[in-house]
Amino acid sequence: MPPRLRLLLLSAVLSSVLSAMGALESHTPYHSASDVVATPDSAVLLTAWFHNCTAAQKCLEHVPVRAEWLLDGLWTPIGETTTDGEGKAVLAVKAPLKPGTVKLRWWYKQQPAEATLFVIRPGQTASVFDIDGTLTVSDAENWKDYGRRLRHDPRPGGPKLRANAVAAVNGAAGDSLVVYLTGRPPWLGRPTRQWLNYHQFPDGPVLWMPFTRDILPTQKRVGEAKLAQLKSLQNLGLTFIRAFGNASTDIHAYERAGIPKSRTFIMGKHGGEGGTVRGGTAYPVKDKLD
């Protein structure tokens, strides 16, 4: 069994045990909203997921939610909708006329989920980063952190950073839009953003798997789900000039998205596979990303 799949199963078992011991709150919100990339004045779908944490992630099915965005310094209602059977809510809007960023907020009762709409300019270049095992020291760090959150004892800094990771992302942000494309499920959206902000990573759209089943570490699931998101961004006009990952599924997605192997940096044991650039155990701060 692949290591990451073992971690997923152990996490589910841990959640059930802690719940039986009374260690979990019955209704801790794990709501999250997806960042969105769009072109000026285009139709775009805004998406959010609403979950409560019990023995496992409990979807809030068929509940009313609303959304708003920050335009010209004012929070303006966008619309209202109802979640589906997986706790997912979708609203269709038209993007602003000018490139830039727009803050978004979704609400279930008084519980928020925040995101950002990135309106890109024509010909925008981008660099894509996986998170677990790429910006962190291993895939296990995320699930260790989730276990600590279930026990209400999270570490302030969250998962351990890979050496020089922040410097590497800042370097990429100098000439491109940074896209964080993670294999994490939607209900880890909030702690993911908290972790990125805590370590002062540069701003950029944070995208995760649209369905929990897609977090399985296989080419059919996480590999194809990442590829679909990359192609969607390319169809909007983004040009990926470099990519960073750590897993064979990352190599699969980046290769099929047409990102040059000479600019595909793979950290850890898969580094160098398939003609990619070997990243090693730390980012070399003195080396140029190109």
Give pLDDT tens digits for 164-176. Answer: 999 999 999 999 9
User: Residue 129: what pLDDT?
Assistant: 98
For 74, residues 6+ apart whose C-beta sits below 8 A from its C-beta are: none
Give yes or no for residue 25 having a pLDDT over 50: no
Give yes or no for residue 103 having a pLDDT over 80: yes
Name the residue ranges covered by the structural domains of the chain: 3-16+123-280, 31-119
User: Residue 251: what pLDDT?
Assistant: 96
Is CATH 3.50.50.60 the classification given to domain 3-16+123-280? no
Task: Write down the residue that tokens 């706790």 correspond to.
Answer: 87
User: Residue 281: what pLDDT?
Assistant: 82
Give per-residue pLDDT as tens, 264-277. 999 999 999 999 99
Neighbour-count burial of 35, counting CB atoms closer than 10 A to its CB (0-12 exposed, 13-18 middle, 19+ buried) = buried
User: Residue 19: what pLDDT?
Assistant: 39
**How remote is the C-alpha of 19 from its chain's centroid?**
27
| Topology given in CATH for the domain delimited by 31-119 | Immunoglobulin-like (2.60.40)
User: Residue 5: what pLDDT?
Assistant: 54
Query: Helix or strand or coil: residue 52?
Result: strand
For 183, residues 6+ apart whose C-beta sits below 8 A from its C-beta are: 130, 132, 208, 209, 214, 215, 217, 222, 225, 226, 247, 249
Q: How far apart are CA 268 and CA 171, in angstroms?
A: 20
| 167, 178, 281 from 37: Cα distances, Å | 24, 12, 31
Q: How far apart are CA 43 and CA 93, in angstroms?
A: 6
Q: How far apart are CA 251 and CA 238, in angstroms?
A: 19
Give per-residue pLDDT as tens, 199-241. 999 999 999 887 667 676 777 789 899 999 999 999 999 999 9
Rounded mean pLDDT, 39-60: 82
Rounded mean pLDDT, 120-144: 91
Give yes or no for residue 38 having a pLDDT over 90: yes
Tokens read off for 262: 């000479």
Tokens read off for 290: 């190109």
Give yes or no for residue 146 having a pLDDT over 90: no
